[in-house]
Structure 1
Amino acid sequence: MLLPNRHFSPFKLFLDRNSHTALMLNPKVLTTFTRALLTEGYRDHLGHADPSDGRWSFLSVPRRFPMAPLHHYLGFLRDPAAYALFGFVRNPYGRLTSAWKNKFLDGHHRSPDGSDAAYARSMRKHELPPLRAFARKQGLPGGTPNTLVPFETFLRYIAAQPEGRRDHHWESQSVVLMCDRLRYSRIFRIETELEEGFLTLGRRLGFPDPWVSARMDRRTNPSKRQAATYTPELAALAQSLIAQDLDRFGYDPESWRDY
Structure 2
Amino acid sequence: MKRDRSGHFLMAQNARVLYVPTTKVASSTARLLLAEANGTYRPERLRWTDAPNISVDQGIHNLEVSGLQYFEFLPETQRDHILKSSNWWRVGLLRDPYARLYSVWENRVLLRAPSPWLKNFQHKCSEVLIDGRLDYAASFRKFVNVLRAEPEIFGDDPHFKSQRTHLGGDQVAFTHLFRVDKPGELDIFATQLGQRVGMKIEPRRLNEGLGLKHLDVMDAQTASVVEQIYEDDFDAYGFERVSFPSISPIALASVGETKAINYARDVTARLVQLSQLARYRQRSRYLLAQILRNSGLRRHKKHR
Larger radius of gyration: 2
The equivalent residue for 1:112 is none
Contact 2:10–2:70 under 8 Å retained in 1: no
Counterpart position of 2:194? 202
Q: Does 1:240 align with 2:228?
A: yes
Residue 172 of structure 2, aligned match among 145, 168, 182:
182
Give the one of 2, 9, 12 matched to 1:15: 12
Offset of 1:64 from its aligned partner? 2.4
Which digits, 9 at most, give the CA deviation of each residue in 1:83-141, with x for residues without a partner?
Answer: 43111111111000011112222x1xxxxxxxxxxx4442xx53240x245x3xxxx75
Question: 1:169 is matched with which residue?
Answer: 159
Offset, 1:70: 7.3
Which segment is superposed worse, 79-88 or 69-78? Answer: 69-78
Structure 1 position 34 matched with structure 2 position 30: yes
- CA–CA distance in 2 between the matches of 1:253 and 1:23? 27
Corresponding residue number in structure 2 for 1:158 = 147
Aligned to 1:127: 118
Q: Please tell me the residue identity of whatever aligns with 1:26.
A: T
Question: Is 1:188–1:197's contact at 8 Å kept on the other side of the alignment?
Answer: yes
Distance 1:42 1:185, change over 3 A: closer
- Give the aligned CA root-mean-square deviation in angstroms: 3.9
Query: Amino acid of the residue matched to residue 252 of structure 1?
Result: E
Map of 2:217 onto structure 1: 229
Partner residue of 2:84 out of 81, 85, 93: 81
2:41 and 2:212 map into 1 onto residues whose CA distance is 38
SS of corresponding position for 2:207: coil
Q: Residue 22 of structure 1 contacts residue 86 of structure 1 at CA under 8 Å; is this kept in 2?
A: yes
Kept in 2, the 8 Å contact 1:4–1:178? The answer is no
Relative to the length of structure 1, the TM-score reads 0.67
- Structure 1's 238 and 78: CA in aligned 2 closer, same or farther, altered over 3 A? same
1:126 match: secondary structure:
coil
Scaled by the length of structure 2, what TM-score is found? 0.58
Q: How far apart are 1:219 and its partner, in Å?
A: 0.8
Q: For residues 190 and 22 of structure 1, do their structure 2 counterparts lie closer, same or farther at Cα, with a shift above 3 Å needed?
A: same
Tell me the residue number matched to 1:54.
none
CA–CA distance in structure 2, aligned partners of residues 49 and 222 of structure 1: 21
CA distance in 2, matches of 1:58, 1:132: 26
The percent of aligned pairs where both chains have the same amino acid is 21
Preserved contact between residue 20 and residue 167 of structure 2 (Cα < 8 Å): yes
Pair 1:92-2:97 in alignment = yes
Cα drift, residue 207 of structure 1: 3.8
Equivalent residues of 1:85, 1:184 under 8 A apart: yes
